[in-house]
Amino acid sequence: LPGPGPLWPPPVGAYAEERGIFELLQNMLEELLIHKPDDPIEFMINHLKQNNEDAPRICILGPPASGKTTVAMWLCKHLDAIRLSQETLLFKETLALTEEAKAYKEKDQKIPNALWANLIQERLSNVDCIKQVRIAPQRAIMLYAPDTVLIERNSGKRVDPLTEEVYHTTFNWPSDPVVQQRLVKPEDLSEQEVSKKLLEYHRNFPDVFHIYQNVLKSINADQPSMDVLSQVLTYVQSRPRSAAPFTPRILFCGPPGSGKSLQAALIAQKYNVVNLCCGQLLKEAVADNTRLGELVKSYTDFECPVPDSLVVHLLAERLSSLDCLTDGWVLSGFPRDLEQAEQLHRQQIHPN
């Protein structure tokens, strides 16, 4: 059996964490199980070539007049994404199934759900959607507000037929007089029509909520539009929860007397990680009479500061030990300046 010491160099875990290796392998396995390709190797090669895991897949849900279109268009501008809606699928896309859907629309008949699903899947297979065939959003946002607010708000809705931007007479009126002249009132704005849509929404939404509950965020739409947009953007840009193994590498910084050592000790106790205080580490090295400890002692005996290079070497050796690699660590008392931080970086000691 090997003696005490690291099983692998510290940068390996950091590399896997920073590059998302676990998530990459997990996603590839999911794709294999979903699609069951005849040639798994070729399938995985093509999957990696697409490199589309960072492409946003967001679903905006909510009752009529809750601001879904406004939020979706705003997100598309910020994330450089493609907006899909019933209107864009029916009137702006040249898809094989578009004419079939239009035929239902012209007869004032409800378009079948299966046809909508096929339309969306066909649109998502286009190049600008990064060839993402599966319809599985990373994030789902549910906008909500009282029905009375939604009915009242709906009466002020206006649409720019040129850009399809949605405005409101009270909350979001354009400053450009030319745009103001172009705005038109949508046809289905009667209170009875909105009430009917709200009733249908409340009847169907519990099932939709159940499907997306693991990625769903509810946001109150009855507040200033910029507050809504800010909360939406914060959610869609947050890092998704990962099942990847995680080894904490924590660094406490702060001025003298700020409580770094105390907080580090509390964190170490709560999460069962190794507590490393730079000063204590130097004392332990001297007491153990190690080779590095003897070098440290030659400075401390004469009350001289221990060189940064020696401290970093000592830290690198300690952080490479098995308990730090498996349990994680919390470090306080170092670095104290930019040069020390850069030396840690050169030793590939990266807190997360």
Cα separation, 66 vs 68, in Å, equals: 6
- The pLDDT score that the predictor gives to residue 227 is 93
Cα separation, 11 vs 171, in Å, equals: 52
Complete domains list, the chain, with CATH: 8-51 (1.20.890), 55-154+188-236 (3.40.50.300), 247-346 (3.40.50.300)
Cα separation, 293 vs 93, in Å, equals: 72
The pLDDT tens digits of the residues spanning 32-76 come to: 998 899 999 998 888 887 766 677 889 999 998 898 988 998 898
> Given CA atoms 24, 26, 31, 37 in this order, what sign does their dihedral have?
positive
Q: Which of 277, 208, 162 is nearest to 63 (CA)?
A: 208
Cα separation, 221 vs 83, in Å, equals: 20
Lowest pLDDT segment from 10-19, 136-145, 195-204, 257-266: 10-19
- The pLDDT score that the predictor gives to residue 3 is 43
Cα separation, 220 vs 229, in Å, equals: 11
Residue 255 tokens, joined: 């001025």
- The pLDDT score that the predictor gives to residue 122 is 65
Tell me the pTM.
Answer: 0.58
